[in-house]
Amino acid sequence: MYKILFLLFIPYLALAQKPGTQKDSVVCLNSPGYNYAVYVPASYKPTVPVGVILIFDPGARGKLPVSLYQKVADKYEVILACSNNSRNGPVDQSLTAGTAVLEDVIARFNVDRSFILTSGFSGGGRTAVQMAITRSTIAGVITCGAALPSQAAITKAKQVPFAEVIGQLDMNYQESLLASVYLRSIGNPSSLTFFYGGHQWPPAEAYDEALAWHRLRSKKINASKFFSEKMKNMKVQLDSGHVYEANRMLMQLMPDFSESKHVFTIDSAIAAIQKDKRLKSETSDVGKINQKEIAMQKEFLAHYTQHMAYAAPDSAYHAVYWKGFRRDCEKMLASGGYKKLAGLRLIDYGWRLCAEQHFVLLDYGQTRQAAMAARIWALIVPDRPAPCTQAARAFALLKRKSEMMEYLRMAVERGLKDKQAIIDDPAFKDYAILPEFQAILK
């Protein structure tokens, strides 16, 4: 009798959510301290097992990625589930949250155990890799905006099918290129997809490519159709004069079709591109640009660390280097092509490093260092009000009125919109009544 009731209860759980709908907060049955956002594909039936993508967002915003990829989930018939508890921080906590979500999804729905992927963005992407290498039941990973948690995370002996999607303006772009080379060197199945954008969850079209690659490897989609789409995309690059990228796409296709009839088409296309005189010069140019970008990132980090090394005394603040860094980036922007992309990535790297450090330092009560980070941030992006607002706030907390006024004035000159937020901020409570403070905000 109890067994019959149990069997009746499982379909009831599966039907508790209407197919084609999203729920933003589902509480885990056996771990009520955890909850997640979930989307069930429109074609879902309790009698037919479907795949699962377990997603990690760096800010515990479960509904964000789930809502972004609903059409992709419908197309490939997979459930999307993203934790509302996992975030950047101690990885063990995120892994525990992810495990609770995955176990709950398996309890509620008819899951195809052979197709469970982990996925994530930025720090969430690194968590997704970590979970994939620690659980043999994970079929692969889709990471966005970040690569491996460490180079030794995946080895020859411990392999995980690895798809990455990253913006061409993303600060972690070079990291992704290095990871791709490393994974190929150890024979780990891998795919790298680019899109035009920065450090963000990728658009659905780019995410679709990564998921399609995993479906291809699992023999769950038509290989000839996948091949045709990839060749079409390669031809677009070739027709646009991007010979280097067209060659990269063909080389990436080879491992997945080396034993199929399509290998002859790939060989022929590669041979034709190898004869193109542009390939050699473009490959050389890209290599030099990549090396320069990596060197500038390392130098930036070294200077930043040196500025912060001695509790950021005012005497350590030298604007010359940071202004020079910005000028070098602007020269790259003016050059166009690959150099322009590298310049945009370097600016993205610089301001994000300073911004992230600023807020971390504030949380730890290191206000003087936080002020320094905001000042550098303001020089890297000289058109944005946010770093000036943050510098003013830090100086207000330090009771340094003149610097606070200086940066508040700069924020307004750069187009500060929400002035009421400044007035309401407790950090400025001792200054908000001053005539000069009010004059700046007017």
227-253: average pLDDT: 94
Range from 12-26, 113-127, 140-154, 168-182 carrying the lowest mean pLDDT: 12-26
The 10s digit of each residue's pLDDT in 127-159 is: 999 999 999 899 999 999 999 988 778 999 999
Cα 223 from Cα 30, distance rounded (Å): 40
CB 36 within 8 A of CB 26: yes
pLDDT at 308 over 60: yes
118-135: average pLDDT: 95
Cα 329 from Cα 340, distance rounded (Å): 8
How is residue 330 written in tokens? 């602007």
Alpha helices in 43-199 (DSSP H): 63-68, 70-76, 91-108, 123-134, 173-185
CB 385 within 8 A of CB 415: yes
CB 116 within 8 A of CB 77: no
pLDDT confidence of residue 15 = 46
Q: Selecting from 3.30.1280.10, 3.40.830.10, 3.40.50.1820, 3.30.300.20, what CATH number does the domain 2-221 have?
A: 3.40.50.1820
pLDDT confidence of residue 297 = 96
Question: Edge-to-edge, what's the strand order for the sheet holding 50-56?
Answer: 22-27, 35-39, 78-83, 50-56, 111-121, 140-144, 162-167, 190-195
Residue type, 41: P
Cα 12 from Cα 109, distance rounded (Å): 10
How is residue 361 written in tokens? 């330092």
Cα-based angle 230, 233, 235 (whole degrees, multiple of 5): 110
Cα 241 from Cα 366, distance rounded (Å): 50
Q: Which of helix, strand or coil describes residue 432?
A: coil
Cα 387 from Cα 379, distance rounded (Å): 9
Average pLDDT value for the chain: 92
The residue count of the chain comes to: 442
CATH class (in words) of the domain with range 279-441: mainly alpha
Strands 35-39 and 22-27: antiparallel
The 10s digit of each residue's pLDDT in 250-287 is: 999 999 999 999 999 999 999 999 999 999 999 999 99
Bridge partners, 192 (sequence order): 164
Which of 30, 43, 87 has its CA nearest to residue 62?
Answer: 87
pLDDT at 318 over 80: no
pLDDT confidence of residue 419 = 86
pLDDT confidence of residue 313 = 62
Using CA atoms, how far residue 160 sits from 138, 180, 189, 438, in Å, is 8, 13, 7, 58
Which of 105, 133, 88 has its CA nearest to residue 34?
Answer: 105
pLDDT at 13 over 70: no
Domain boundaries defined on the chain: 2-221, 222-275, 279-441
414-431: average pLDDT: 91
pLDDT confidence of residue 12 = 41
The 10s digit of each residue's pLDDT in 160-180 is: 999 999 999 999 999 999 999
